[in-house]
Amino acid sequence: MAAFSGPVSGTGIYQVTIHVDDDNDNKPTFERTKYEGKIRENCVSGTEVDLNYLVHVSDKDAGANGQFTVTIFGNGSEKFRLDRNSGKIFFTSADSRLDREETSVFNLRLVAKDKGGLYDEAILVIMVEDENDNAPVFMEMVVFDNVEVVEVDRLGNRIGHFEEAKNGTKGTYVLRTKRTKTKMAPLFKLKEDAGVGSPVVKLVAEDRDFGDNGVVKYEMVSETYIPNEYSAEPFHLTQYFMVHGTNGEISVARKLPPESEFRLNISASDKGGLRDHVSVRLVIEDVNDHAPVFGKSWYNFDVEESSYSNTILGRVEATDSDFGPNANITYRITEKDKNLPFTVSPQGGVLVINGLLDRETQNKYTFVISAKDNPRSSPSLSSFVNVEVNIIDVNDNPPAFYGYDDVIDNIPVFYATASENIPVGTPITRIFANDSDYPGNGNGLLLFDIPYKKNGQNLFTIDSKEGIVTTIAKLDYEAQSTHNITIVASDLGSPSRTSSAILTINVVDVPEDFQSMEHPVFAHRYYEVEVEENVPVPLRVLTLNVTEPYRTHKLRFSIVAEKTSEVRKMFRIDPRNGSLFITESPDREKKALYELIIRLDQYKVGRDMTVMVYPVTSERLGNLGLNEVKVIVRVTDVNDNVPKFTITGRPIVAAIPTNANYGYHIVRLQAKDPDLGLNGEVRYQILGRADEASKRFTVDPITGQVRAIANFIRDAGKVYGFDVKATDRRGADDGKSSIANVFVYVLDDQKQLVMVMGLKPTEVEKSMDNITTILYNTTGFDIRIRKLEPHSERNQVDNSATDMYLYAVDPLLNVVVDMEHLQRVLQLKHSEIEAQLSGPKVLAVASGITENFRAKRQRVILSSLEIGVVILGCVIFIGALATALCVLCARRRKRRLLQKSFAQPLGYTIGTLGKPTLFPAALTEGLHYDGGHDVVHHHHDRNCPRGASRRHTFRERSRSSGCIEKSITSLHSSGQDSGIVDAAVHCQCGISSSHSSEESSNYEDSLQSVPQRKSRSASIRQVELSSTRNSHQRRSRNRSISEDIVQGGALHRMRSLGHIPAPPPMMVSGPSTLRRSSDRLIVG
C-alpha cells in the first residue's frame, strides 16, 4: 500500500488516518477540595507542613494544553512553597518565623491554572502548633474588700506601675499592671482578725501560649515577716499566708500578728518552667469592736450538697450603736474545727462555703458566729448567734460496691468459684453494694443488672434486689475456665447514677472419673478443729486422706485461697500427705474463727487436737466441688489477759456520811477482762490487812459493789484506804489479777454542803448529769451528788424544792475538797452556774447541820420548862401507881406463892425506874436459874441450827416455855426488829433460823460506842452460864434466856390463870440488851 500526499483521483480502496488536534477544554483538577496541615511555630525554613493529604493536580488535556502551574494565594502565602512532584508543602521564609501568638491559622488558596487560562481552586488551611515560648506575665491584682491599698511606690504615686482598672466589681479593687521595667511592691493594709482562709489579694497572670503551655501555676516563693517594735521575736518562720495554686488568690493561713508587716514574693510559672515574679507588702492593722446586736435571734440556711469554693451562702448582720472606729464590727465563727467548710467575712458577715458539703457525712451543721466591736482603750464586748445550715440531698453518690476481693483500674473485682457439674440455678455468690444518698427520694435505692451480650452465650443472672448471682446454663471447664461478668448497680435517682464491678468466676475442673465413679472421694466433707491461742508454731492441726478407691491416683493437696489472704499466712498444707499446719500463733481476741477449703483430702484426728466430724447440710458445704473439703478452725481461749479496772492510773475516791448504816452502798468497782468464758469472769475481794479499814468495808465478789459493814458515827473527817483485788477465772488461785486502791472519806454531817434547787426531786434527778457537768466546767472539781431529798426548813417539808447533798473531788490531787472551800467556790461562781442552768435554778447553797438534823437535836434537848412538866407527870404517875398497889394488896399472898417457884437469881439484870415493876415482887423472886447441872435438850425444830449437832447442853433456865412474837432487845435505830428472834421461825431452845439473827452480833459490835443507860435497880445479880463457852455463845445464851423470861410462856400462863394483873411499865436491861438509852419499851 502506498501513501499519497495530495489529492487522490480514481477509484480504489484507501486507508485514511485522521489526527484530532487537542483543544484546551479541560481545566486542571485537584484531588481534594480542601487540604489541612499543621506545623510548629518557630520552625526553620524548609520544614515540611504535615498535610492530611498530599496535593495532586491533573489536567486531561494534552500537550501544551495539559501544562499548568499551582500557586498559593492568601495572607502569608509567601511563607510556604508547594513541591509539585511530591505534593508536599514546605515553610520557606528565611527572614521571618512562625509565631502562633500572632497568627495561629493560615487560611490559603491553592490555584492550578493551565496556559489557556482554565484553573481550579482548593482550600489550604495550615494550623500553627504552639510551643512554650512565652513566660507568664502578671497583669492584675484584685484586692478584696477587707484589704486597703496604702501606697505603691516611694514617689508617693498611689498606683505606680499599676493602674486602677475600670472593671473592678463591688467589693474588689483591681490594679492593672503597666509595661514598665521597674516594679515596686504595692503596700496593702489588712485587719488582724481576718479569719483563716479569708482572701487577701488575687493575682492574675497571663500566658500567651496555648493549651497546657498556657496553664499558669502560682507559688509562694518566700514570706518575710517583719514584726512590730513590741514583738519579742525578730523573725517568725511560720507561714501566715498561702496562695492558691490555680487562681492566684492569696489568703490567710493562720491568725495574723497585729501591727506587723509581711513581704510576699509570688511567682507565676508555666509547664515549661518560664516564670514571672511579683512582690506584695501587707501591713496588719490592730483593730477591736464593741457590743453589737444581731438582727435575728438565729439564722437558718439551706444549701444543696456539693463542692463549693468561695460560694456565698448568706449573710449575718449585726449593728453597733457606737460610731466611728468603735462601731467597726468583726464577724468570726467560734468553732475551732478546722474541717468546718464555712467561713465568714470578718467585716461583711458574709457566710462563705469552702469545701465539700456531703449530706451522707453530715446532714446539718450548727455553729456560732460572734460579732465583736473594736474600741482601742476599753474592753471589747461580744454577742453570739446560732447558725444552722441544713444540707439538702443531691444524687451525687453512685452506688458503691463493698466486700470485693480486689481492685483493678479503679474497678472492684469479685472472685468466685463454681464446679463445672453444678446444676442450673445454683447460686454462685452474692454482690454487695450500697448508696449513701438519702433513700427517701430514691437516690439511695439501687438495683443490680448484668448487661447481656446479644450474640454471646449468657450463663449467669443476678437478682436485681439481693445481688445473688446464679447459673442459667451448664458450665464447662474445657470450653471456658474463667468467666468475667460485668455487674452494674444503678440507683433510682434522677438522673440515675451507676457503678460497675467485675465478677470473675473460676470454673473448677472435675475429672471425669470423679463424676462417673460411684464411690465418694471423701469420707467426710466438713471438719471443725479447736486450737488454743498462743500455741507454739508450726503445729500440725489435721491430716487428710482420700478414700480407698482413689489412693492409687496421683493427687495433690492444696488450700483454696488467694495468695495474699490471711488463711495463706496462717496455714500451710503438705501437698503430699495432706497434713495441715498452722504457721502463725493465733490470737483469739483478734480473730476466733478461720474457714479453709482444702482440695482432695480426708480427715484424720490430729494429736492433742479436738476434731468434730458430723453430718452437715448442703447449705454449710456451699459450692464445694467433689474433690474439695471444708475445714473450720476455732481458736479456743487462753487466760492471757489481766482484768483491768475502768479507772486506771490513780486511786478510786468515794465518800460516805457518818450516819451510814450497815450495808450502805459506797462505790461500785468494775474491771473488764477480754478473755472468754471462765477466763473472763472476774471476782472481787478486799485484800486482808491488820488495819481497821479492811474490817469496816466489804465488796460483793460478783458485782464489785463496796458496802459499809460498820458505823462511822465517831469517824467524821477520817479517810480509810484499802485495796480491792480483781481476779479472773472466778477468783481462782491460778487466775490473773489486778489491784485498785480505794480511799473512802467520812464526811462530817455538821459540815455537809447542801445545794437547794428550785425543782422537785424527780425533776432534779433527770438533770443530774447535766448539773454535775456544769458544776465541773464552772468549778474545775469533780462534783458528786450523795443524795437527794425534799427541801426541809423550820420543820416544814417543801416538795417543790430539793436538797442536793454534794461533795467534790479535786481531779488533780485526787482528794475530797474541803466543804468550806467548796462552798466558797460555789458561792463565787453562783451567777455563772445560774446562767448555764437552763432548767433547775439554785435557790441557796448552805452548809452545816441540816434542818432535819437540827429538828432531831431539838427534840432530844429539852428545855427547863419541859423538864419540869416531865417531873410533875412522874409525881402524878407515882401517886396513881401507889393507889393501884393498895388495891392489889389482897393478892399479895398469891404473889408470894409464885416467888417460891422462882427462888434462884437470873443471868441478867432487871432494873426499875423507881416505879412498880412489870412483874410483881413474888414473880421476880420466884424466877431462878439453877447452875448446878446440865440438862440435855433433844427437842429442836427442823430449821434450828442446834438441831444439826448431836447433843447440846445448857443450864436449866426455867420451867416455862413459849413462843416470842418479837424481840424486845434488838430494836435498831430504824425502829424495826433486827430479827434476832422471829416468831415465824424459831425453836424452843431460843435460836432463830432467820438470816438476820446470824448477823445480829455484828450489829451489837457496831453499837458498842453508843452509851447505855445505867440500870437503876436496887440490886443486880448476875450468874455466868458456862466457863467453857465463848463470848458469842454466852451472848446467844443470855439473849435467849432474857427473851423467854420477858415474854415467856410462864408470863402468859400466869395471866391466863388470872393470877397476875396488868403490870405497869418497866425497863429491862441485861448483857444481850441492844436498845439505846433513849428507847422505851412498854409491855401491856
Q: Where are the beta strands (DSSP E) in 563-718?
A: 571-573, 579-582, 593-599, 610-612, 628-636, 644-645, 652-657, 665-668, 671-672, 683-686, 697-699, 705-708
Q: What is the pLDDT of residue 402?
A: 94
- Give, in order, the Cα–Cα distances in Å from 514 to each of 230, 265, 424: 92, 79, 20
> What are the sequence ranges of the domains in the chain?
29-129, 137-286, 289-392, 400-508, 519-636, 644-747, 750-855, 893-1057
The lowest-confidence range among 452-456, 818-822, 926-930 is 926-930
pLDDT averaged over every residue in the chain: 75
Which has the minimum average pLDDT: 22-26, 198-202, 356-360, 743-747?
A: 22-26
CB 121, CB 66: distance < 8 Å: no
- Supply the angle between the helices 768-779 and 819-828 in degrees, to the nearest 10: 90
The pLDDT score that the predictor gives to residue 405 is 93
Kindly indicate whether the domain formed by 400-508 is annotated with CATH number 2.70.180.20: no
Q: Map grid coordinates 467589693 to a residue.
A: 171
- In angstroms, rounded to a whole number, what is the distance separating the alpha carbons of residues 302 and 389? 6
Closest CA to 1027 of 947, 937, 955: 955
Q: Given a cut of 80, is residue 850 above it in pLDDT?
A: no
Residue 952 has a pLDDT of: 40
What is the average pLDDT across 818-845? 83
We find that the CATH architecture of domain 644-747 is Sandwich (2.60)
Per mean pLDDT, which of 717-726, 921-930, 1071-1080 is the most reliable? Answer: 717-726
pLDDT digits 0-9 by tens, 36-87 = 999 888 888 888 888 898 988 888 888 787 788 888 898 888 888 888 888 8
Q: What percent of the chain has pLDDT over 70?
A: 70
Give the model confidence (pLDDT) of 584-604 as tens digits: 989 888 888 988 888 774 333
pTM of the model: 0.32
What is the rounded average pLDDT of the residues 91-113? 83
pLDDT recorded at residue 966: 35
Tell me what the mean pLDDT of segment 259-288 comes to: 84
Greater confidence (515 vs 840) lies with 840
Place of cell 452556774: 833
pLDDT at 935 over 70: no
Matching CATH number, 750-855, of 3.90.1170.20, 3.40.630.30, 3.40.50.620, 3.30.70.3310: 3.30.70.3310
Domains 289-392 and 750-855 share a fold: no
Cell numbers describing residue 708: 459499809
pLDDT at 128 over 70: yes
pLDDT digit string, tens, across residues 478-506:
788 999 999 999 999 888 999 999 999 99
Pinpoint the alpha helices (H) of 783-863.
819-828, 830-836, 851-860
Q: Which of 456-460, 542-546, 727-731 has the highest mean pLDDT?
A: 727-731
Q: Which of 487-491, 526-530, 914-918 has the lowest mean pLDDT?
A: 914-918
CATH 3.40.50.300 fits 137-286, yes or no: no
Fold entry, domain 519-636: Immunoglobulin-like (2.60.40)
* Residue 858 pLDDT class (50, 70, 90 cuts): very low
Q: Say if residue 1013's pLDDT is above 60.
A: no
Q: CA dist 912 to 1020, 1040, 1069, Å?
A: 11, 21, 9
Closest-CA residue to 427 (of 415, 416, 440): 416
pLDDT at 950: 42
Cβ–Cβ < 8 Å for 550, 521:
yes
Which pLDDT tens digit goes with each residue over 651-691? 899 999 888 889 999 999 999 998 888 888 999 999 877 67
pLDDT score for 563: 66
Is the dihedral angle over the CA atoms 5, 6, 8, 9 positive or is it negative? negative
pLDDT of res. 184: 61
Assign 630 a pLDDT band (cuts: 50, 70, 90): confident
The pLDDT assigned to 183 comes to 53
pLDDT exceeds cutoff 80 at 252: yes
CATH of domain 29-129: 2.60.40.60
E strand spans, 427-583: 427-430, 432-434, 446-449, 460-462, 468-471, 482-491, 498-508, 526-532, 539-543, 558-559, 571-573, 579-582
Q: Say how far apart CA 970 and CA 997 lie, in whole Å.
A: 10
Query: Who contacts 287 (Cβ-Cβ below 8 Å, separation ≥6)?
Result: 191, 192, 193, 325, 328, 330, 374
Task: Give 274's contacts (C-beta < 8 A, 6+ positions apart).
Answer: 132, 134, 135, 136, 207
Give yes or no for a contact between 153 and 163, defined as CB atoms under 8 angstroms apart: no
- Answer whether 1075's CB lies under 8 Å from 969's CB: yes
At residue 46, the pLDDT reads 80
Predicted pLDDT at 324: 58
Can you tell me the mean pLDDT for 238-243? 86
Q: Residues for the chain: how many in total?
A: 1084
Give the three cell numbers for residue 105: 491559622
pLDDT at 612: 53
Average pLDDT over residues 776-790: 88
CATH architecture of the region 289-392:
Sandwich (2.60)
pLDDT tier at 323, thresholds 50, 70, 90? low
Q: How confident is the model at residue 577 (pLDDT cuts 50, 70, 90)?
A: confident
CA distance 303 to 899: 103
The residue assigned the cell 486597703 is: 148
Q: Is 336 helix (H, G, I), strand (E, B) or coil?
A: coil
Q: Establish how many alpha carbons lie within 13 A of residue 887's alpha carbon, considering only the half-sphere containing its beta carbon.
A: 9
Instruction: Please indicate whether residue 456 or residue 17 has the higher confidence score (pLDDT).
Output: 17
491/623: higher pLDDT: 491
Mind listing the pLDDT tens digit for each residue in 940-986? Answer: 445 444 444 444 433 433 333 333 333 333 333 333 333 333 333 44
Which of 455, 602, 476, 462 is closest to 527 using CA atoms? 602
Across 119-123, 386-390, 585-589, 1060-1064, least confident range: 1060-1064
What three-state secondary structure class fits 517?
coil
Instruction: Please state, in angstroms and rounded to a whole number, the distance separating the CA atoms of residues 34 and 106.
Output: 13
